Amino acid sequence: MVWMKLFLHLFLIAGSAVAAYPEKTADTPGNRMLQSYWERQVHEIEETGGLKDIQTADDWKTKAPHYRQQLAEMLGLSPMPERTPLMATKTGGFSGDGYRVENMHYQAVPGLYVTANLYLPEKTDKPSPTILYVCGHANVVKNGVSFGNKTGYHHHGAWFARHGYVCLIIDTVQLGEIRGEHHGSFSKGRWWWWSRGYTPAGLEAWAGIRGLDFLETRPEVDKTRFGVTGRSGGGAYSWWVAALDERIKVAAPTAGVTTIRNHVADGCVEGHCDCMFYVNTYRWDFDRLVALVAPRPLLICNTDKDLIFPIDGVFKIYQNVRRVYSLLGADDKIGLQVAEGPHKDLQPLNNGAFHWFERHLKGADPMAVLNEGAAKSLEPEQLQVFKELPKDEKNTTIDQSFVTQAVVPSVPDTKESWLTQRDLWMQALKSKVFSGWPREASATVSVKEGSSDRDGIQMSVYDFESEPGIRLRLYLTHRAGLRLEDLELVALNVLDAKGWQDFCQTYASRFGKHIETFPSTQPDNKAFESEKKMFESFKWGMAYLCPRGVGSTEWTGSEKAQTHRLRRFYLLGQTVDSMRVWDIRRSVQALKQISGMEKKPLWIQAHRDMAVDAVYASLFEEGVTRLDLHEMPNSHESGPAYLNILKYLDLPQAVAMAAERKRVIVYAANDPVWSYPTGIAELLKLPEKQWQIRKPMPTE
């Protein structure tokens, strides 16, 4: 059979097969600290982001609409896209054994083509119960032509149609006939997806909702009896659609969800692409998502040896959500179907879902036994929608336009308008961008760990806790013999990996044996002498900070391991850079706690992405008097990712807010992008030197 000769791989995950989860990494202090951090963060979300606060039916009825709105927002669907004309088009069709098929497409938004196969009963005399089948990822390619993952799941559609259902099977953007992308952060380095608040999960949810819109136009469809199902990625999309659209009356997702603990602490995120996750702005656990189907009939299907949807997490979600169903008096409307086996499209799971729909969409005898399984019988060419792909398709670029971004603002006409806009941006930063920061923070305590004088420079080392379990180090250098009380100012240097290397080359050979075990490095005597000369000329102190993941807290491992660490932050409603902003804030507080430093003018100097992090830290901390920003990107499109930031503002607006409060110097070409802070400085009549663009400093 041709099917056996095709490259057909039902992916172990929603988008990519991985051998083991998670990848083994070295047992280093930084790696251990990070794993402990995952555990603490997961515990916090389990306590506050799930269903523990739902104690009565009224609790759920009151909160569910609010949760549904939050979910839409986290999927990039708030406000919902416009319901533009579907432009539904039939391109072909044929008759099968007891059913007929229409090959067709519709546009979820203009230019976003959803290729699909509509399976219809061979004969019907009244509107039929109808299934929206959302696919997991099946890569069906022959002679360089993609036939879409819908062809990999055609046996489901045929089964439903033979048994009296209408079934619409829709392609996903990833691996469809028009091959878009689900792997933005998984493997493509599109971290700007997070900054845009974009996830392909929202795209697939909207495609499913528009699929229901199309089905409502068909006379063969009973609009009061919609069901949804799918496996793997399709299991996840089943929840998105059922949670958001109450036209769905029955749901049977398969292998599409597990707990935040499995994903983050246990590392299952490494087995999943971006389509499995919402942008977790509100720090949810996944049982809250699943419960949004209640009290409609819900069957949770999974196998017992699924590595990427572990059965312990699936069962925990089932138990938590079942409690909500019980509160609503709907114990008989939730079920758990477990089959033996790995993450595959297995008949026992399929039969469980078929049985569920027979009961809850048709009202069939619950004791009835279905003997017929779903078997593949069609060739992919039969199900092909496009012989030639449309030239106006946006499937391959939809990530750049699906979520509405903030319009580049004009400089306000009045100071009052500026103050109003600034306050709105600050509120958005607190509630939508940096909402993953600790809700409560204890007073910062700086603990002196050592001090030494070498060759005219004194270095002291202080440790502080940025948040529980995240212990960071400050290095404070100045002229030997000079008291801290006598310093005129302190410059805090925020180091990235290159900055840490430069710091070690400058200081390690002098202080490595006396105060700190620095990594071995080639000494840079010229840099040390330059520092010494500066200290001889000025009563300045230089402080150095490595935020989490840099320096002594570095995380080691392969590029893949580092990528998936970034993705774990994302599932916690954070990004690594948003938490580095928090580290910088806490380091400012820690410096102010050192005796003699309480009232010293404080500058911050940083390079590259750390310069961006420093800008945002300065918006939330008093006492920072100057920012020196080197090699800084001019947008979050190319710079560090923060959740949702581009839905509200971009870096030039943040720099303008900083310049209102302190002196800001950007060392860069005089790019037009910086006209916004220049305009704000003119509007507010700021001192001439408070906002400056200078030529980049020479680098060796």
Confidence of residue 671 (pLDDT cuts 50, 70, 90): confident
Picking from 81, 79, 103, the residue whose alpha carbon sits closest to that of residue 93 is 103
User: Has residue 292 been placed in a domain?
Assistant: yes
Confidence of residue 700 (pLDDT cuts 50, 70, 90): low
One domain, residues 466 and 379: no
User: Has residue 15 been placed in a domain?
Assistant: no
* Domain that residue 235 falls in: 26-400
**CA distances from residue 298 to 249, 290, 333 in whole angstroms, order as listed:** 9, 9, 6
Q: At residue 13, does pLDDT exceed 80?
A: no
The predicted structure's pLDDT at residue 395: 98
| CATH number (domain holding residue 207) | 3.40.50.1820
CA–CA separation, 220 and 335 (whole Å):
29
What number is the average pLDDT over the span 668-697? 95
One domain, residues 335 and 459: no
Which residue reads 């992090």 in tokens?
613
What number is the average pLDDT over the span 493-510? 97
* Predicted model pTM: 0.95
One domain, residues 144 and 230: yes
Q: At residue 42, does pLDDT exceed 50?
A: yes
CA–CA separation, 241 and 259 (whole Å):
19
One domain, residues 321 and 454: no
User: Has residue 418 been placed in a domain?
Assistant: no
Range of lowest pLDDT (13-22, 173-182, 186-195): 13-22
One domain, residues 394 and 458: no
The predicted structure's pLDDT at residue 697: 83
Contacts of 35-42 with C-beta under 8 Å, sequence gap 24+, read 35/265, 36/469, 37/469, 37/470, 38/264, 38/265, 38/568, 39/265, 40/468, 40/469, 41/264, 41/572, 42/260, 42/261, 42/264, 42/265, 42/572
Range of lowest pLDDT (9-18, 204-213, 482-491, 669-678): 9-18
Distance, CA of 368 to chain centre? 43
The predicted structure's pLDDT at residue 21: 61
One domain, residues 292 and 359: yes
Confidence of residue 12 (pLDDT cuts 50, 70, 90): very low
Q: What is the pLDDT of residues 512-557, one digit of tens each?
A: 989 988 998 999 999 999 999 999 999 999 999 999 999 999 999 9
The phi, psi pair for 448, rounded to 5°, reads: -75, 125
One domain, residues 390 and 480: no
Number of domains in the chain: 2
Identify the domain boundary among 369, 385, 400: 400
Confidence of residue 373 (pLDDT cuts 50, 70, 90): confident
CA–CA separation, 318 and 294 (whole Å):
12
Q: What is the pLDDT of residues 90-126, one digit of tens each?
A: 999 999 999 999 999 999 999 999 999 999 999 888 9
CA–CA separation, 698 and 124 (whole Å):
78
User: Has residue 429 been placed in a domain?
Assistant: no
Please, what is the Cα angle at 374 between 370 and 376, to 5 degrees? 160
The predicted structure's pLDDT at residue 22: 72
The predicted structure's pLDDT at residue 187: 96
Range of lowest pLDDT (177-181, 257-261, 515-519, 589-593): 515-519
User: Has residue 440 been placed in a domain?
Assistant: no
Confidence of residue 18 (pLDDT cuts 50, 70, 90): very low
One domain, residues 185 and 309: yes
The predicted structure's pLDDT at residue 416: 98
CA–CA separation, 265 and 572 (whole Å):
11
Q: At residue 11, does pLDDT exceed 70?
A: no
**CA distances from residue 425 to 76, 576, 636 in whole angstroms, order as listed:** 19, 21, 15
Q: What is the pLDDT of residues 148-176, one digit of tens each?
A: 999 999 999 999 999 999 999 999 999 99
Q: What is the pLDDT of residues 225-261, one digit of tens each?
A: 999 999 999 999 999 999 999 999 999 999 999 999 9
Identify the domain boundary among 400, 421, 438: 400
The predicted structure's pLDDT at residue 272: 96
One domain, residues 385 and 458: no
What number is the average pLDDT over the span 456-479? 97
The predicted structure's pLDDT at residue 62: 98
The predicted structure's pLDDT at residue 426: 98
Per the prediction, the chain carries an average pLDDT of: 95
One domain, residues 391 and 478: no
Percent share of the chain, pLDDT over 70: 97
CA–CA separation, 279 and 180 (whole Å):
20
Please, what is the Cα angle at 421 between 657 and 407, to 5 degrees? 95
Confidence of residue 9 (pLDDT cuts 50, 70, 90): very low
Identify the domain boundary among 338, 373, 400: 400
Which has more pLDDT, 697 or 280? 280
Amino acid letter at 594? Answer: I
One domain, residues 290 and 178: yes
Range of lowest pLDDT (16-20, 212-216, 375-379): 16-20
User: Has residue 642 been placed in a domain?
Assistant: yes
Residues 336-366 as b/e (b if ≥16 CB within 10 A, e otherwise) read: bbbbeeebebbeebbbbbbbbbbbbbbeeee
The token pair that represents 106 in the structure block: 């519709």
What number is the average pLDDT over the span 424-445? 95
DSSP state letter for 150: G
What number is the average pLDDT over the span 631-652? 97
Confidence of residue 17 (pLDDT cuts 50, 70, 90): very low
**CA distances from residue 604 to 494, 541, 665 in whole angstroms, order as listed:** 7, 12, 11
One domain, residues 169 and 255: yes
User: Has residue 410 been placed in a domain?
Assistant: no
User: Has residue 431 been placed in a domain?
Assistant: no
